[in-house]
Amino acid sequence: MQRDEDRERFEQSLLPHLDAAYNLARWLTRDDHDAEDLVQAAYLRALKFFGGYHMGDNRAWLLTIVRNACYTWLARQRARGTTTAFDEDVHGVESDAVGPEKRLLREEQTRSVRRAVEELPVELREVVVLREMEGLSYKEIAAVAEIPLGTVMSRLARARERLRQRLGDCADWES
């Protein structure tokens, strides 16, 4: 009975953060399939250690596990000398009310932003994804990335400046 309760508590606590886990893994690995594999491995690791977890910030705890899994994977990939190409179609359902010109412009802007974020070094890309896409606070990012708060702030500032230089004034990264 206790095992069923633990599994139910695990599912209620961590499954709502599956999209955030995948999003972080996807941006760090630059590959859909690798991201899926790493998120699955991270969830299995979280399940294994869930009994000893003292129920703090569930999302931050899970993202820390995902991040660590991704960095381990990236280190192995670098050791092998392999790289993966970033090739992602724009996702989402477009409204029929949007004209083709506007839709094409929006898609091109999205691709430009994705390329610019993808070109950032992994430590800068990570903080941008956690802040701008996942909405984590600076304190939460510091916990997930296991870095000081000041480092979070300086990495975000450097990342935003690089994005601003790459994209021009069309992007506002000051949130």
Ranges 30-44, 49-63, 114-128, 152-166: which has the least confidence: 49-63
Confidence of residue 170 (pLDDT cuts 50, 70, 90): low
Length, in residues, of the chain: 175
Is 140 in contact with 60 (CB distance < 8 Å)? yes
Domain with CATH 1.10.1740.10 in the chain: 1-82
Ranges 75-89, 125-139, 151-165: which has the least confidence: 75-89
Is 70 in contact with 144 (CB distance < 8 Å)? no
CATH class of 1-82: mainly alpha
* Domain 101-175, CATH: 1.10.10.10
SS3 91: coil
> Does position 22 have pLDDT exceeding 90, yes or no?
yes
pTM: 0.65
Domain with CATH 1.10.10.10 in the chain: 101-175
